[in-house]
Structure 1
């Protein structure tokens, strides 16, 4: 049964091309601020009332809904008083681009002014396609300690578990930089080391130098601190008569009671089995590098050290965390967090592969798929670069599209297809990004041939011609909320005090996959580059402007993975 049918509409919506100057001057439209404003007027104290629609089917009839079930907890029979609706429209209608607010059997529904929002967003694309740098009262510095890169591990001993952790650390570093954080990555690698060369295959340029700086003096200072510490049960400075110390394993310099320290400092969240640490010189060098990195941070900056570590090495990393606290008072101004990666479970005849062999295996599959699709033209340096970049994308989406907290099941069977037809793959994302590149190449070539005029000024476009269902879906679900996606990734950075940090590292992968699916559906259905007829040019240009926004979203998001956007199919 329908409700009262109350429909209140905003007057004089901004829909014409001549209002582009007004739209460009309007403030940025944000779904988050829209939700907050709607909740402020009609929301309840016990939870959300308003929900943004996202499916194509629901977007045909509404953009926001406050379901009747939620409203019935606040108003008799779920009927919102007319004066509240009028207040919502008078206070927020213009700023939120609300065209109408209607009470229906399903609840209170809002229709936004689509032409005005197309105009506002597409006239100001940089506002929506570039991550928003946080305005912070204090500059925030993050020290990213990638545990699998510590020590002298070479690429031949790197596992797929290690690779997943490294790629996660690299992605997080770029996401944080995009949001205005100062990021310092440790350890500092030797530039010509094999591991650096291997990581460059993935576009990962981890901190490196021609020669690593020696920390001998700092290590020596740490040894002295440990020899005098009340938490050291025995060590190098003890007398030979101490029989307990003679039982230390070879290479171990000190035995340190971590449990006592944790109890005295009342530190929580650590593994309950954490007892003692058998400290080797390599461990002291790791702590020394962390310490030196903190000393490079301005004392006024808010500093967080994030240990990015695989679950199999988490226990050892907690020992290093506590040992660092014992060795340095500087840790009082550093918040230490642990970002733990779940294990990679492999199956298939190639389940035993190392990280290097895994890369070569996927690369051979990508080469085979490309030859099957394009034939003998797949050869030479340019194709080698394309194959390498596609392989990197495939692997990154395989390893990062699942929440870092969860184990990952990886199928390494020979027959598994990684072609562009798999809609959940990095190859599919790259294929659709390449479609956009090809689209603009065709347009530019047609302009050079005189078939189309050059792209006009944005103020000359008439945005009401964007009426196709998929066009609003692409703007509303992907371009408008893109900045907020970045915020979702690192939301927990300041929302919890637990030593374990959980970030939504899979967010951008899923976002790009969903974008690719909806863009592909639209692209297959709509002919963007129309006939070279003057009366069709405005529709073509407005659609191309929408495609420009999608292209920028693809490029910005892929950039956080250090994936080079493809320039051709």
Structure 2
């Protein structure tokens, strides 16, 4: 049997190949109620397009039940059902394979995107913190999260703009956002010359205000390149200013001059520049129109401007029950920080905020709460924030404060357990070969439904379901460990174990493509 770690992509590939030539028909089951009886499904409609009346030949069914290969999970059974062809894995064997090679699953696989480059642009960071709206704060947190996710998959990411405002740098550090800083602006002399050439015939000798160079027609560019899809139909003229050229100059500089140590896969690469680089603009819905103008202006003024530009548009942020969208990002942080302190006071009594030992903890919890709220909704969707005093409760299940406060409690429990292990207060974990994984029943559905990342390559749609870890270096397993306790106890084991998501104890969500 293959010893390579199991993968969803490898298993899907083997199942599709076992059905013969044609497009893919198998999907990974993700719904909990169906995971109790199947792990993969070939829908009936997909089978009808491949076979007469959707009937799969008997020899192919036999081949599916015996499918094997590197990274392919062992199959228990494959049978026709009203929904289509249903396949279930040998779940006890999957548990054993994973727990027998925990280190392999905890280590990220060699990323398929090694050497790819992404220029991540967040225009909101050109403002000062006091002018940063909640919708712009959302774009900053989305951009930071996206950068971390891409880097985890081996993508070389460069962040733009480099922040010059010292107050913005301080605020980003407060938010635990890692963003580059710069003291000087990129030179826009070349772009200015190109712009003046284009504007010569358009200005008709009129006197313009300081800092304004003139107007350029962008609609012609869109029509010439046939790329009207996706652009606002009202795009027409663009007011070219010195500030706009400065933004383009910084983007162009970042695109053409990647740091030599930015990624080992780029060492000595000869295609630095626009080739093979994707530019992603993360903007709020209020900034979308202006960003489209900037995109087209770049195409207009620079012959080798990147054609691969994507706009990640974040929806508006509203305050539920109040017209509070004018609250600035620093005010929002201070508001949530005060709520976290108040929640702790309600829970433990006393004013812990005055204790220096708790200062860092409250800061981390406040940031984690904000990130949870901002990132738990798909970026394109409108986000509603609850700022009422009732939202600070640590007993509800919907607020970021509740989730992060209890994550901190779990982290304390784990640290206590680790110290107890070091002191020898717990017995040594038995050999994996001595465990009976067939005793685990209810643990499997939440495991396979929530722990497997999308195995497809490239940037994914922000609306697609992806595993997100909002606190760095912290993996939180399920709170109930009853299933493990049954597994480790000698003698007869009753059925009906807990719903512990076992995989989170075995493998971090950031590891790529696994199969359960």
Instruction: Report the TM range for the smaller structure's normalisation.
Output: 0.7 to 0.9
| Superposed displacement of residue 73, structure 1 | 7.0
Identify the range of structure 1 (69-78 vs 284-293) with the bigger mean alpha-carbon deviation: 69-78
CA shift for structure 1 position 161: 0.8
The answer to whether the aligner puts 1:84 opposite 2:53 as a matched pair is no
2: CA distance between counterparts of 1:436 and 1:197?
30
Q: CA deviation at 1:427?
A: 3.9
| Alignment match, 2:243 | 282
Q: CA shift at 1:315, angstroms?
A: 1.3
Post-superposition offset of 1:316: 1.2
State the distance in 1 between where 2:367 and 2:378 align: 19
Which moved further from structure 2: 155-164 or 258-267?
258-267
In the alignment, what sits opposite 1:16?
none
Closer, same or farther: CA 75–349 of 1 in aligned 2, 3 Å: closer
Output one character per residue of 1:23-55: Cα deviation in whole Å (capped at 9) or x when no partner.
xx6122122332333334349968845552541
Unaligned runs of 5+ in 2: 259-268, 512-516
Aligned length: 487
Q: Who is 1:202 aligned against?
A: 175
Aligned CA distance change for structure 1 residues 228 and 98 (closer, same or farther; 3 Å): same
Cross-structure match for 1:376: 350
Distance across 2 between alignment mates of 1:225 and 1:105? 65
RMSD of aligned residue pairs (Cα, Å): 3.9
Q: Distance in 2 between matches of 1:257 and 1:106?
A: 55
> Alpha-carbon deviations, 1:164-222, whole Å to 9, x = none?
111111111111111111111111112x611111121221021114xx2243xx32222
Instruction: Please say if residues 25 and 47 of structure 2, whose CA atoms lie closer than 8 Å, have aligned partners that are also in contact.
Output: no
CA distance 1:423–1:510, shift in 2 (3 Å): farther
Where do 1:232-271 residues align within 5 Å?
233-234=202-203, 242=205, 245-246=206-207, 248-269=208-229, 270-271=231-232
Which segment drifts farther, 116-125 or 441-450? 441-450
Structure 1 unaligned segments of length 5 or more: list them.
1-21, 493-501, 558-569
Q: Are 2:343 and 1:343 equivalent residues in the alignment?
A: no
C-alpha displacement of 1:551: 7.2
> SS of 1:337's equivalent?
strand
| Partners of 2:223 and 2:44 in 1: CA distance | 52
> Please, which moves more after superposition, 354-363 or 292-301?
292-301
Instruction: Give the greater-gyration-radius structure (CA).
Output: 1
The 5-angstrom pairing of residues 130-145 of structure 1 reads 131-136=108-113, 139-145=115-121
Aligned: 1:365 with 2:365: no
**Conserved in 2, the CA contact under 8 Å of 1:53 and 1:62?**
no
Going by fraction, where is helix more abundant, 1 or 2? 1
| 1:476-491 alignment runs, 5 A limit | 476-479=448-451, 481=452, 484-485=453-454, 487=456, 491=459
Conserved? CA contact 2:123–2:282, under 8 Å: yes
1:505 and 1:432, CA in 2 relative to 1: closer, same or farther beyond 3 A?
farther
Q: Quote the residue 1:9 is aligned against.
A: none
1:130-529 matches, cutoff 5 A: 131-136=108-113, 139-150=115-126, 153-190=127-164, 193-209=166-182, 212-215=183-186, 218-229=187-198, 233-234=202-203, 242=205, 245-246=206-207, 248-269=208-229, 270-297=231-258, 299-301=270-272, 302-331=276-305, 333=306, 335-349=308-322, 351=324, 352-376=326-350, 378-379=352-353, 380-412=355-387, 414-431=388-405, 433-434=407-408, 436-455=410-429, 460-465=432-437, 467-479=439-451, 481=452, 484-485=453-454, 487=456, 491-492=459-460, 502-504=461-463, 507-509=466-468, 519-520=478-479, 522-523=480-481, 526=482
User: Are residues 304 and 73 of structure 1, via their aligned partners in 2, closer, same or farther at CA, if it must alter by over 3 Å?
Assistant: closer
Give, in angstroms, the shift of residue 463 of structure 1.
3.6
